[in-house]
Amino acid sequence: MKTTRIAIFALVILMLTASTVYFDAAYEEANEEDSDEENKMILDNDENEGLEVKRGEETELHEAAFFSLVGLAYIPVSGWMIHKKHVSRKPYVISLIGSLAMVVFYILTRTVDLLITGLQTDVGITDTVAKILQIAAIGFSGFLIYKIGKLRKN
């Protein structure tokens, strides 16, 4: 029972830290948009260059919104875990599936030219930290799903 409690709080800390990392990523994307607007003013009035900047701005806005949503999603699930602790496996299943989806999506954006994001070539410290946190969350979530199922049988 004590290991389960420790694992729950470790998972909550991981998820809230991942949430903070995603908010930081959203902030970085918003700042990139501001710098792109400054660069846009410097560019010549060539139509093709203007279109490229506009596409980049839209992508950065979408990415900032996406990162904000992911960061926000981790918060209520973390609260649910603290509130329900050993009673329900649902928040841990949501955490496992959500974190796994984010890791898979990240791999896809780096290996496949997706319609929404295109092929992303940048791999930064924020990306790496977020993926490490999410992989750890997957492990803790799996462990807790197993332990809570075992507790229910006893």
Q: How many angstroms from the chain centroid is the CA of residue 30?
A: 16
Task: Note the pTM of the prediction, 2 decimals.
Answer: 0.77
Number of folded domains in the chain?
1
Which residue range(s) make up the domain with 25?
2-153
For residue 99, is pLDDT > 90? yes
> Dihedral sign, CA of 51, 57, 62, 63?
positive
Instruction: Give residues with Cβ within 8 angstroms of 95, minimum separation 6.
Output: 11, 15, 77, 81, 137, 141
pLDDT of residue 117: 67
Q: For 21-30, how does the pLDDT look when each residue is reduced to its tens digit (9 = 90+)? A: 989 888 887 8
Q: For 111-137, how does the pLDDT look when each residue is reduced to its tens digit (9 = 90+)? A: 888 766 677 777 788 888 999 999 999
